[in-house]
Amino acid sequence: MILLGACAAWALVTAAAHDGRPEGVLLAVLAVAAGHAAGRISGALLPLAAPCAGAAAGLVLALLMPDLSPGPRYAAPLGHDGAVAALLALATGAACCAAWTARRTATRLGLRLFAGVIALSGAAVGSAAGCAASAAVLLCSLAAGAMRHRGLALAGLAVVAALVAGTVWAAAAGALPGGLAEALGSRLAPQRAQLWRDALRMAGRHTGLGVGPGRFGVLEGTPPRGPTADGRPHSAPLQQAAEQGLTGLLLLAAAFGWALHALWRTPRPTPVALTTAAALTALAAIASVGDALSFTTVTAGAGLLTGWATARPLNGDGGRTQNGDSAPL
């Protein structure tokens, strides 16, 4: 709560300094907090049913998002929208967590098949990234059953998220090797690469307080508005650095680090913790190259999934790890 409060307070500080609009940041913080609280409560009462319902709801929202979202659709590499890919990854994580919670083999198999259906549904809505992210979460969940030390796996996932964010940062700075730069450039629209460069330039000029929340799209130097312009750089780390300075970027990284630490300390089985971490890492990767965190459904879903994975079921069965230990590995 202190960390989320700091995120909200810093958004207000930077908004006051530059006449920004912190409503979007405050809404995201509120969604994460509310989702986490709801996840802890529902996960304690219904450790199996709650993530099952959440996975179904995430799938429905992902399928309907292109029609429900008032914003424009974005092409490769995020399908219709980064939010669709993020929701599919979170829904897959919820289904896999429910599968590890189930006692009966048939129920567990059925939930894993449901997770596979969620992954394949990404192709139905034209989201290749959503399909790939969901498949990665499913594979990580299956591999988590053989993991004995969750700390090492969590550290590896943190490195993956950092590498993706670092690659985006290097691409914005033009520091990628030629081959990698060409491969990334072929997957990105020229407008998005220009947005990243503008965000990095703003971050360099306003390291302390940034330009203010919500002010990226109204400052001179950003690309002209067009049918796909929405005033965002389509990269959460770059947007934080540009609009809230270095402190805002560190708070965003700290929020992800806190989630991984909470999963390391959770009494739930190790596969549940690692599956949730894999879904959050997929979300972090998608948010690094898209605008997924701009959607309340995504931030609330991330909070819900973390809450389910850190809840203490009232039936007492959630305190054992995969190997029968009660302490985090």
pLDDT for 94: 98
Q: What is the pLDDT of residue 83?
A: 87
R_g over Cα of the chain: 19
At residue 123, the pLDDT reads 86
Name, in order, each residue with C-beta under 8 angstroms of 244's C-beta and a sequence gap of 6 or more: 10, 11, 14, 25, 209, 210, 213, 251
Chain mean position to CA 204: 25
The pTM of the full predicted model, rounded to 2 decimals, is: 0.89
Query: What local confidence, expressed as pLDDT, does residue 220 receive?
Result: 46
- C-alpha closest to that of 55 among 104, 99, 109, 107: 99
What are the pLDDT tens digits along the chain (329 aa)?
A: 899 999 999 999 999 998 889 999 999 999 999 999 999 999 999 999 999 999 999 999 888 865 555 444 544 444 356 889 999 999 999 999 999 999 999 999 999 999 999 999 988 888 888 999 999 999 999 999 888 889 999 999 999 999 999 999 998 888 888 777 777 766 777 778 888 989 999 999 989 999 999 888 776 454 444 434 556 788 999 999 999 999 999 999 999 999 999 999 999 999 999 999 999 999 999 999 988 998 899 999 999 999 999 999 887 554 444 443 433 43
How many Å apart are CA 139 and CA 116, to the nearest integer? 10
DSSP state of 293: G
Nearest to 55 by CA among 27, 104, 14, 90: 90
Contacts of 271 (CB under 8 A, 6+ apart): 100, 141, 144, 145, 147, 322
Give Cα separations from 208 to 14, 96, 216, 244, 246 (angstroms).
9, 41, 15, 8, 6
Per-residue pLDDT, 325: 41
